[in-house]
């Protein structure tokens, strides 16, 4: 029996957690808590999860791992064992994870060498390490053999793929163009500086999902400079235009930080207006929290929690309206989708352009199907499944 796994954090952490569970000797008395430290709240959630596991499984051996354990080892001393990131990397080196999701998240690289002032990732994952193209092709083949209809390429910063080897992400994507029509390929979060015309052209040669998630963080030039970001508001707009023209009907997501030191109402409004005017369909919005060890820590935290909450709410309300308009564009149309089951047994499908569609009937978990969109309401989208 595989150990019980609690994953927190990013898609890379999800991959590593499932791989670790597969690598550890099976047993019915093990629990793994895979922690995250990307925000202060993520560390708190990780600690809460560890305490919860201790109470729920008093007779189990608890293993803690992940980025929060590296950053705050003393906080996780209550675990029976802490597996460091280096130890984890060695354990999972030749292990493929067995995730419960219908899409396979394939880690292609690790590490970040960028210098964004708010970010702790380069401190906990400083070493660049990329899988070779043959390794990635082999893993995609394995995922296909396991019935996965979609592979999501993930990394700590996938735009840096191959940087330590003299390789590039567009080079990898071009090399994957021969994999055939299945599985379809989705890119995870891609930094704006790496969303180049070369990469967009390479993606267009794949059976690729029309979905880009771009962590822009802000759209105010002054705040972007203080954050250590390289792209300006105008350059972000140009990149979005290029991607939208190459992939009609694409979904666009963004990561945003609200309440960064120095973000006054005018700066926030510029970001708000940018999101409203550009083709974004969904957002991940985070209230700023100082991270010890980052360049922004000395800036303090001058924006109040109520103001951060208000800005987050305004963005959420606006993106909900934009997302509904986007989904209603597809009424009556047929889209490519992957079948997923939730914990209640309800069946949904995720389209290539990131719309979750609820469907009737039974279809195998992970199957790739066609769905016709029949309804789009504020809280859900309905569709009728068509056999491929």
Domain 97-326 has CATH 3.40.1110.10: no
Helix H or strand E encompassing 141: helix 133-145
Helix H or strand E encompassing 142: helix 133-145
Give, in order, the Cα–Cα distances in Å from 253 to each of 105, 177, 212, 240. Answer: 18, 24, 6, 11
What does the domain layout of the chain look like in residue ranges?
4-90, 97-326, 334-386
Cα–Cα distance, 359 to 357 (Å, whole number)? 6
Surface-to-core class of residue 69, CB atoms within 10 Å of its CB (0-12 exposed, 13-18 middle, 19+ buried): buried
Share above pLDDT 90 across residues of the chain, in percent, rounded to a whole number? 81
Q: What's the whole-number mean pLDDT along residues 376-388? A: 89
Cα–Cα distance, 248 to 330 (Å, whole number)? 12
Predicted pLDDT of residue 140? 94
Is there a cis peptide before residue 183, judged by omega within 30 degrees of 0? yes
Whether 388 shows a pLDDT value over 70: the answer reads no
Structure tokens at 34: 């895979």
Predicted pLDDT of residue 182? 76
Sheet holding 184-187, edge to edge: 129-130, 104-110, 150-155, 184-187
pLDDT tens digit sequence for 243-266: 999 999 999 999 999 999 999 999
pLDDT tens digit sequence for 32-45: 999 999 888 899 99
Contact 250, 353 (CB under 8 A): yes
Predicted pLDDT of residue 99? 73
Question: What is the DSSP pairing of strand 184-187 with strand 150-155?
Answer: parallel
pLDDT class for 132, splitting at 50, 70, 90?
A: very high
CATH number assigned to the domain with residue range 4-90, chosen from the 4 options 3.40.50.300, 3.20.20.60, 3.40.1410.10, 3.40.50.12160: 3.40.50.12160
Q: Per-residue DSSP letters for 48-102?
A: HHHHHHHHH-TTSEEEEEEHHHHH-GGGGTTSSEEE-HHHHHHHTTT-----SSS
pLDDT tens digit sequence for 59-115: 999 999 999 999 999 999 889 999 999 999 999 988 898 776 789 999 999 999 999
Cα–Cα distance, 97 to 1 (Å, whole number)? 15
Helix H or strand E encompassing 246: helix 233-246
pLDDT tens digit sequence for 180-234: 777 999 999 999 999 999 999 999 999 999 999 999 999 999 999 999 999 999 9
pLDDT tens digit sequence for 276-294: 999 999 999 999 999 888 9
What superfamily does domain 334-386 belong to in CATH?
Nucleic acid-binding proteins (2.40.50.140)
Cα–Cα distance, 37 to 52 (Å, whole number)? 18
Cα–Cα distance, 186 to 170 (Å, whole number)? 14
Predicted pLDDT of residue 346? 74
């Amino acid at each position: 029996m595989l150990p019980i796994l609690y994953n927190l954090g990013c898609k890379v952490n999800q991959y590593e957690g499932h791989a670790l569970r597969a690598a550890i000797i099976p047993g019915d008395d093990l629990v793994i808590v895979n922690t995250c430290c990307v925000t202060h709240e993520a560390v708190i959630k990780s600690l809460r999860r560890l305490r919860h596991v201790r109470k729920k499984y008093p007779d189990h051996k608890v293993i803690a791992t992940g980025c929060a354990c590296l950053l705050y080892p003393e906080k996780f001393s209550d675990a029976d064992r802490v597996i460091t990131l280096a130890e984890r990397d060695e354990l999972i080196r030749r292990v493929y994870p067995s995730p419960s999701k219908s899409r396979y998240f394939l880690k292609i690289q690790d590490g970040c060498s960028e210098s964004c002032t708010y970010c702790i990732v380069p401190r906990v994952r400083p070493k660049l390490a990329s899988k070779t193209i043959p390794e990635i092709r082999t893993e995609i083949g394995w995922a296909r053999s396991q019935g996965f209809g979609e592979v999501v390429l993930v990394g700590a910063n996938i735009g840096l793929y191959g940087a330590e080897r003299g390789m590039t992400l567009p080079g990898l994507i071009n090399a994957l163009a021969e994999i055939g029509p299945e599985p379809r390929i989705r890119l995870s979060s891609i930094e704006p500086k790496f969303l180049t015309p070369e990469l967009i052209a390479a993606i267009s040669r794949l059976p690729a999902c029309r979905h880009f998630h771009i962590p822009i963080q802000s759209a105010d030039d002054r705040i972007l400079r203080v954050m250590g970001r390289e792209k300006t508001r105008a350059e972000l707009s140009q990149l979005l235009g290029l991607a939208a023209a190459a992939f009609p009907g694409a979904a666009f997501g963004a990561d945003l930080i609200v309440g960064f030191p120095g973000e006054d109402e005018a700066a926030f409004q510029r970001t708000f207006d940018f999101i409203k005017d550009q083709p974004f369909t969904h957002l991940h919005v985070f209230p700023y929290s100082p991270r010890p060890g980052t360049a922004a820590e000395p800036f303090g935290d001058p924006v109040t929690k109520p103001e951060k909450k208000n800005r987050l709410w305004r963005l959420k309300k606006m993106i909900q309206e934009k997302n509904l308009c986007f989904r209603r564009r597809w009424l009556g149309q047929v889209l490519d989708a992957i079948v997923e089951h939730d914990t209640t047994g309800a069946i949904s499908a995720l389209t290539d352009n990131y719309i979750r569609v609820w469907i009737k009937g039974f279809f195998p978990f992970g199957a790739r199907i066609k769905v016709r969109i029949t309804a789009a309401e504020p809280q859900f989208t309905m569709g009728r499944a068509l056999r491929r």
